[in-house]
Structure 1
């Protein structure tokens, strides 16, 4: 059994019958969907991920729109990196604005990670992603010149000529930061730029982190301790 499946098995303990859960994307979430189905746990699922939605439908889980819920009991997601203060960075999927809405609606927002993704403080080996209104792109690029960034660029589509557009019709700007930046302050500064819808920094919404390693899965406390 790989560590991601172990992590999904541990996450199952945080799900109660009849609850509304949020699911992000990634292979650990796929394992969790399979386990929910196999254990015949009835839940309603909210997800911003098209791929996760398809997996839920294939597994016979009920998927509901985020517009139809006022709160989510527990949400599960992954990330590229999380530090000991529960500051997390997500870079790949480009759906972070909707993922953050799911997180804000949730009583518990739990990250499922393997131990390689846990660091004392965020290192910014991955870019911070901004969802940006197309009309504000030039303005945002000018504002980014005052940030401690090595480089930034509009994410380009690999399947067609031109940029990637989010499901909200916005652009994604990948910002490569210098190391040593405080995640919470950086998130606040980015969100203060007019035209930035949201960022892929999650510094105030994570309530638990489940860390999977070769010897099992442990819940990390703020400060880096695990139990």
Structure 2
């Protein structure tokens, strides 16, 4: 990752924490930009700038990081509300539709985002696209005993699906829920995210897919102006 991209991510992560107020229940997202946001939140708590914060994490990775930083945590089942959720995305289109799941955490991420009163997405400028799925594959979480069946069903829908394999372990990626991930590419990209999200989730054996439609309230974009990072509040189209 380039130094410029690092600086963009840091700027947008810190900007997102400005929306957090004392007493809030905050959904803490997954991925590299969200990790920077969690670190910025932990620093504010340590300095006493924020108090009485409860975090709800979207991954085991986030849970470990938040615990190391002393951020109090509760599970989804133990809270009555989430005031604000902040998370990254792998792709964002002009209508604030997302693809998430590059880290295989999209099931818990979607649960937290749907529960939140406000869902804010933090990305660097490289994640902005006109059409979803032309560059980034769509993750679909499947039951281990059904992945071949779901793969065939996705092919019938026009998607080329491959089982995601682990990098530093033998065998496939296993999610926090103990399932597998199929990464799918649709020729020409995804032109109807809302319809496809429902269609895929109706397939037997599918737990959830990485399309996030109609739940994003705000997108903050880190970018470089000249040689300085800045944050842009994206306008929804």
The TM-score with structure 1 as length reference comes to 0.90
Which portions of structure 1, spanning 4 or more consecutive aligned residues, are displaced by more than 6 angstroms?
Answer: none
Whether contact under 8 Å (1:91, 1:127) holds in the other structure is no
For structure 1, which runs of at least 5 residues remain unmatched after alignment? Answer: none
Which deviates more, 134-143 or 19-28? 134-143
Aligned residue pair count:
222
For structure 2, which runs of at least 5 residues remain unmatched after alignment? Answer: 1-5
Cross-structure match for 1:217: 231
Question: Is 1:135 matched with 2:137?
Answer: no
Whether contact under 8 Å (1:154, 1:163) holds in the other structure is yes
How far off is 1:123 after superposition?
Answer: 4.1
Task: Give the one of 158, 170, 181 matched to 1:161.
Answer: 170
How far off is 1:126 after superposition?
Answer: 1.3
Cross-structure match for 1:65: 75
Task: Give the one of 2, 12, 15 matched to 1:7.
Answer: 12
Q: What do residues 142-186 of structure 1 show as CA deviations (whole Å, max 9, x unaligned)? A: 21122222x212122233332222222211111122124222222
Whether contact under 8 Å (1:12, 1:36) holds in the other structure is yes
Cα RMSD, aligned residues only: 1.7
Task: Give the one of 152, 174, 179 matched to 2:183.
Answer: 174
Cross-structure match for 2:33: 28
The TM-score with structure 2 as length reference comes to 0.87
Which deviates more, 121-130 or 79-88? 121-130
Cross-structure match for 1:186: 196
